[in-house]
Structure 1
Amino acid sequence: MASKQVDLDGFRRLQLPSETQIISAWKTRADAPLVSVICITYNHERYIEDALRGFLIQVTDFPFEIIVHDDASNDRTAEIVKRYQSLYPHIIKPIFQTVNQYSTSPGIPISRCLEAAAGEYIALCEGDDFWIHPLKLKKQIDALSDSRHQSELCFHSAIRIDATNENRKIIGRYAQRSSLVSAECIIKHTHGQIPTASLVLTRAAARRYYEFLRDNPGLPVGDIYLQAIAAARDGALFIAETMSVYRIFAEGSWSARTRNSSVKIAHALKRFEATFVLDRLTNGRFHSAFMAALSDQSCDIVVHKSYDRRLKTDFLRETASYYTACQKLIFYLVCYMPRPLLRVIRVYRTFKRGR
């Protein structure tokens, strides 16, 4: 298989290697994986095959396993996973739930996968996203195993596709060249969203994330927690290549579920709670970065075009203890600005972020 960048349109035309071909390239035993690929899926019948193919095109000289957690899908997702498992029984290791676990606690699916993972590194990709570069894993593992730094997290840019209209945009481009990104930049999301399917982290960082979920049940599972925990030691390594696809508004996705304004506001309140927990967990080392992130999140909400004033003021009231008197005044004034002025602020914030 060619090792060059695979373009998105040619991705599905790639011929998958057999399990024997994949394993024959590994220098160590297949039952001792270096990397555990974790894929959480629910009702992703239309997308899961892309995710599985993206894992199986990976060209590595080290063993990897693919842990797929199907959260009691009521479509053909589990059937598709089982078909691929029958072809790759030593690589694909599914977990099939009979009762949806996410509805009980959002942290259960990822926790179950982390408990099952045997690898020294953890790679993430949800069932509606996929990888498009056959050397993605190798590049990231090579970067993380470089002895010149102590970083425990590696990521890259991705193509964001709107599942409703196929519009495309590059996200997560934190630099023009591969470089080390500070923990403060990760916490503040200085260059926007970091794609989930781009994340690879060490087992030690994954363990700390697992313990955070265990000790803080009921919090929404967001990559912001994982990224902050994994980047706290020595920042994160950014690879300046676009190697995955992130779908928004796909069926069964978080972005589709949170289109409801009330749900999204409730999620934002949980993020506030988790941010203070993370601040304590890191002994206040990144306090200013966490506070800046919360301020930025609050500003996003008060200028958001789809939230009505009642939702905005309810959110500000719930989080009032965090704001200074000056911030409270500014946020409430912004809430009641005429729509044209709010539009100007939104355009300015978008330009400032370079998104």
Structure 2
Amino acid sequence: MRDQNTIISGWINNDTKPFVSILCDTFNHEGFIRETLEGFLKQETTFPFEIIVHDDASTDNTPAIVREFAENYPLIIKPILQKENQYSKKVNFWSDLTFPMAQGKYIALCEGDDYWIDKLKLQKQVDFLENNKEYVITWTDYLNRKGTELVPNNFKETLPSVYTIDFDTIFQPYCTLTLTSVFKKDAVDPLDYKKFKYGKDNTLYALALCHGKGAFLNFQAAVYRLHAGGVFSLKSTFFQRYSSYLNVKEIYDNIPQARTKNIEKVMASLLKASAFEALKLRKTEEFKNIEEPQKAINEFLDKASLSLKFKYFLKYIKS
């Protein structure tokens, strides 16, 4: 690992602000956060960057690890260590906490249980954005980690070296995961983001795409970790599908540029998946205690073709 303190010290002494701000949210990631932070620090760049780490009152050793790194790299790592959990208060870490602190022209995102494996990740993405002014956001390929197994995607074979992403292509075939994203800070207003009730990373991307194109850069730069402690992965499959549907529908309803055939197709697919997952819950306490599964079913049946309704009722009879 390079002596980033010495490098950043030179930049700061020259009154140079960070060119990129890396925003990292973490909670109970003591087994992962060290690898995450090391991946940031290994980045080789021609520009200064800062690392803003927000710990949401973890109950394990995560805050101590973040504090240790901040003490060792005080010019680079800027910790926010909460005493009370903000997620439970429905505070949005990104728009309310870390984004306002960011000084960079560009923002990079990565949560505390994922990590980067390409030491030139930031340099490659920033160089692309600097040299292609019509683009405002980039993503890269990644590996999926299940335990110790690293599972690749097939993007290397199926997509070009640069694949343009806009409202006609987003989500199909590439899944725009947060840990690979780098975007222009001025392409997204956090106040706009806060207007969305079902806001997710997709909302951020949609807001950015209103100001320019996105690009998938076809190189493996990061690892997405699948584990039981992930906040989203702990939710039921129904919740995952339906919350994604509500998120994409809200984007479609509120951003005129998003009203494309592609987004309509994505919405229909998510709603169908939500309804069929809700059917699996029909005899469970979850179905009885919350109204969302029945809402998903009703909306699906209201919009579905006769053939889809027939398939649904066959499943209903068998369940």
Normalized against structure 1, the TM-score is what? 0.77
1:170 counterpart letter in structure 2: N
8 Å Cα contact 1:27-1:62 kept in structure 2: no
The answer to whether structure 1 residue 118 and structure 2 residue 118 are counterparts is no
User: Which ranges in structure 1 are unaligned for 5 or more consecutive residues?
Assistant: 1-15, 343-355
Tell me the CA shift for residue 294 of structure 1: 1.1
* SS of equivalent to 1:215: coil
The answer to whether structure 1 residue 234 and structure 2 residue 212 are counterparts is yes
The answer to whether structure 1 residue 151 and structure 2 residue 129 are counterparts is no
CA distance 1:237–1:300, change in 2 (3 Å): same
Tell me the CA shift for residue 175 of structure 1: 1.5
Tell me the CA shift for residue 320 of structure 1: 6.5
The answer to whether structure 1 residue 182 and structure 2 residue 160 are counterparts is no
Find the partner of 2:200 among 215, 222, 238: 222
Distance 1:223 1:303 in 2: 25
CA distance 1:231–1:24, change in 2 (3 Å): same
2:191 counterpart letter in structure 1: E
Tell me the CA shift for residue 300 of structure 1: 2.6
Tell me the CA shift for residue 18 of structure 1: 2.0
Distance 2:124 2:11 in 1: 16
Distance 2:279 2:4 in 1: 48
Question: CA RMSD for the aligned pairs?
Answer: 3.2
8 Å Cα contact 1:157-1:171 kept in structure 2: no
Further displaced range: 193-202 or 127-136:
193-202
Distance 1:101 1:109 in 2: 12
The answer to whether structure 1 residue 204 and structure 2 residue 186 are counterparts is yes
* SS of equivalent to 1:185: coil
CA distance 1:274–1:324, change in 2 (3 Å): same
Tell me the CA shift for residue 172 of structure 1: 6.2
Tell me the CA shift for residue 49 of structure 1: 0.5
Normalized against structure 2, the TM-score is what? 0.85
Q: Which residue of 2 aligns with 1:327?
A: 304
1:333 counterpart letter in structure 2: F
Distance 2:302 2:274 in 1: 18
Tell me the CA shift for residue 317 of structure 1: 4.3
8 Å Cα contact 2:180-2:222 kept in structure 1: yes
1:245 counterpart letter in structure 2: V
The answer to whether structure 1 residue 64 and structure 2 residue 49 are counterparts is yes
Distance 1:233 1:213 in 2: 14
8 Å Cα contact 2:17-2:103 kept in structure 1: yes
CA deviation profile, 1:204-259 (whole Å, cap 9, x unmatched): 2232xx22332235x3x5222122222233331111100000001252x234321x
Tell me the CA shift for residue 287 of structure 1: 4.0
1:282 counterpart letter in structure 2: I
* SS of equivalent to 2:169: helix
1:206 counterpart letter in structure 2: V
CA deviation profile, 1:14-63 (whole Å, cap 9, x unmatched): xx222334327859946511100000000000000111001000001111
Distance 1:235 1:337 in 2: 43
Distance 2:36 2:228 in 1: 13
State the aligned residue count.
312
Find the partner of 1:40 among 22, 25, 40: 25
Q: Which residue of 2 aligns with 1:293?
A: 266
The answer to whether structure 1 residue 282 and structure 2 residue 255 are counterparts is yes
